Structure 1
Amino acid sequence: MPYYYVNNNPTLNPGYHHEVHTEEHANELNILSKKYLGFYSNCFDAVDKAKETYSDADGCKTCCSLCHKG
């Protein structure tokens, strides 16, 4: 089960929304402005948590592909 984060800056991705990433991928992308969401068994729960803050939250196409809506 990975740790999840949401990017606080929506302009850093092609869809201009707040993307949810695993901790490993957020670090690979060097995302500095991010909010810790928690330790989840799946990306769906992490995206739901992110939507409490950002209604436009979406899963990252690379690390949360099952939750990526585009």
Structure 2
Amino acid sequence: MARYYVNKNAQSNGDHEVHKQGCYWLPLIENRIYLGEFNTCKAAIREAKKYYNRVNGCFHCSNECHTS
């Protein structure tokens, strides 16, 4: 299982990115919300949608959940 976080700051397209712990692109602690430990990024995306309507997986660490 991996620890996942969602970025409080939206990307230019309005998406809030979901990252795994250890990702190079993980936002600073004050700019992220801890989502919990999950087996898949899909579960982390579902949890992130409790905070934000528009979420997306990080291209680098959660690529299987990343949409263009």
**CA separation in 2, counterparts of 1:30 and 1:66?**
17
- Percent identical: 36
Number of equivalenced pairs? 66
1:43 to 20, 25, 41: 41
Q: Which residue of 1 aligns with 2:55?
A: 57
**Cα RMSD (Å):** 1.4
**CA spacing shift, 1:65–1:3, aligned 2, 3 Å:** same
Please report how far the alpha carbon of residue 16 of structure 1 lies from its aligned counterpart in structure 2 after TM superposition: 3.8
Q: Which residue of 2 aligns with 1:18?
A: 16
Using structure 2 for the length normalisation, give the TM-score: 0.87
Q: Which AA in structure 1 matches 2:41?
A: C
Please report how far the alpha carbon of residue 23 of structure 1 lies from its aligned counterpart in structure 2 after TM superposition: 1.0
Q: Which runs of 4+ in 1 moved over 2 A?
A: none
Q: Which has the higher strand share?
A: 2
State which drifts further: 47-56 or 28-37. Answer: 28-37
Structure 2: unaligned runs, 5 residues or longer? none
**CA separation in 2, counterparts of 1:43 and 1:15?**
20
